[in-house]
Each structure stands twice: as structure tokens, then as C-alpha cells.
Amino acid sequence: MLLATAVNASAQDVEEEEEERVAIVDSAHQLRLGFDVSRILFNQLQKDKEERISYELELDFYWRKDLYIVAEGGWGNASLNYPDLAYKSNNIFFRAGVNKSLLPRLKQNDWDMAFIGLRYGVGLINRSNANYTITDSTWGTVSGTVAGAGLTAHWIELTGGVRVEIAKHLFLGWNMRGKFMLNAKQFTELPPYNIAGYGKGEKNTVFDFNVFLSYALRWDRKHIPKPRE
């Protein structure tokens, strides 16, 4: 009987916590805009003959039950400049998906999170003319030009990361991403050296990392009065 009472009491506690948690989750909206600060560093670490510049922004909106709707975008350019192969490319990209926080919010102003997420990404790419040279040790060298092209890349991503509120409304956090190209066949003939938002164009699978500094806007949800009985 004692055991039954204890179990009953425990179940009641859980239900109360759950009710309280639902009240926390549904009490406010949050829209967070982030900028990938790691790109500022990586963009400086370029070599003379290889260049990969990119910028990334992230917008996430708290929906409900630890679920965030995410939109990301950015732009960048890349170049390869070797005697045997030289070309450039630039692109913009967009990603959309969701993040699911694995750590529930503990109180009203707790927005720290560790999450996993899923994205669909698309990149619109302009590739310049490419100059190539084939060295033939017997007869000499052959040079040629491959015409530039407009390309579209589609990929999906699995991501995970954290966001911590380091000051009021200001967040710092990181994402790890595994990216999988969906239309790799389009990139067998001279892929861009780098696709901003994705990574090396000739790789079907890419691992990537971001460090986001974000600012959050919050507002209360509209109170909907209960209908009178």
C-alpha cells in the first residue's frame, strides 16, 4: 500500500513538473539571429593559391516543446590558382530545418540548449571559366579552357551543438555538421573548389563546424482567455 502510495505520489510529481514545464515552454516567443564568428578567423587563413571565403547567418525561432525552426543563409567565393588548374566560383546558399533541444528548459528565463537538428541546404553557384594545362613529358603540354557554368547544389545536414546565454539576450554556441550532397553527379565535371555553406565541392560528404554569436529577441505569447462556461 505504501509502495502504491509512493508510486502514485511520484507520478503526481512528474505530472506537476510536466505541467509546470509546459507553462514555461509556452510562455514566450524567442527569435534569435546569429553570425558565424569562426568564419572571420578562417577567412584570414587563406593561401595564395587557394581561397575559400564564406559568411554564415542563422535565424532560429522557438516553436514549442523544445523545438526550434531554423533558417540559415550566407555567401562566399573560392578560387584555385595553380599552373595546371585555375578557376573561381562564388555562391549564395540557404538552409532550412529544425533543432530539437535535448535539455529541457528549467525556468522561465532558461534558454540554454544542447540540440540536434536536421537541415536541407541549397547553393546557387557561379563557376568561372577554368584554365587547365596537361603536361605530357614526351610531346609537351596542352592547355585549354572549360566554359563557366551556373550550378545548383542540394544537400542535407545532420547537426548538433549548443547555445549558452552569456549575457542577457546574447548567446554563444557552436554547431557540428555532417553534410551529404544529394546531386553529386552534377559536380563530377569540374566542381567548385568550395561551396559556401557546404564545403569542398568535389566531396560527397563534408564535415563542418560553426561558432555562432547570437542575439535573441523575446516577447510574451498572446494570452488567450478561456471561454466562460
Partner 1 sequence: MTKRHTIGVISFLLLSGVSMAGNKSNDGRSPCLEPRRYFLKLQTMTAADTGSAGVAVKLPSPVVGYVDTSIDSFYYGNAAQSDFQGPLSAVADSTRWFIMADTNNRTLLDTITFYYERKPVFLSTACGYAMVYSLKNIVTTNYAIDSARIEKTEVTNATDVIHVKVFYKN
Q: Are 174 and 210 in contact (CB under 8 A)?
A: yes
SS3 (DSSP) at 189: coil
Helix (H, G, I), strand (E, B) or coil at 128: coil
Cβ nearer to partner 1, comparing 119 with 127: 127
For 167-183, give the secondary structure using H, E and C: ECCEEEEEEEEEEEECC
Alpha-carbon gap, residue 69 to 98, rounded angstroms: 5
Check binding of 116 to partner 1 (CB under 8 A).
no
Q: Is 51 in the site for partner 1 (CB under 8 A)?
A: no
CA distance linking residue 200 with residue 193, whole number of Å:
6
Nearest residue (CB) to partner 1, 22 versus 142: 142
Site for partner 1 in 53-112 (CB under 8 A): 80, 82, 84-85, 103, 106, 110, 112
Asked if 50 is part of the footprint of partner 1 (rule: CB under 8 A), the reply reads: yes
161-200 binders of partner 1 (CB under 8 A): 162, 164, 174, 176, 188-191, 193, 200
Task: Select from 60-68, 119-127, 133-141, 218-226 the region that touches partner 1 (CB under 8 A).
Answer: 133-141
Nearer to partner 1, 119 or 163 (CB): 163
Q: What is the CA radius of gyration of the chain?
A: 24
Q: Does 129 bind partner 1 (CB under 8 A)?
A: no
CA distance 17 to 68: 22
Residue 227 within binding range of partner 1, rule CB under 8 A: no
Catalogue the E-assigned strands of the chain. Answer: 28-36, 50-64, 67-81, 85-101, 113-127, 130-136, 140-146, 149-167, 170-181, 205-220
**Which positions from 4 through 43 interact with partner 1, judged by CB under 8 A?**
none
* Shortest distance, position 67 Cβ to partner 1, whole Å: 18
Interface residue with partner 1 among 114, 116, 170, 217 (CB under 8 A) is 114
Residue 149 in the binding site for partner 1 (CB under 8 A): no
CB 133 within 8 A of CB 116: no
* 48 binds partner 1, rule: CB under 8 A: no
Distances, alpha carbon 208 to alpha carbons 72, 151, 173, in Å: 15, 21, 14
What pairs with residue 74 in β-bridges?
A: 56, 93
Residues lying near partner 1 in the complex (CB under 8 A): 47, 49-50, 80, 82, 84-85, 103, 106, 110, 112-114, 132-136, 138-142, 144, 146, 160, 162, 164, 174, 176, 188-191, 193, 200, 202, 207, 209
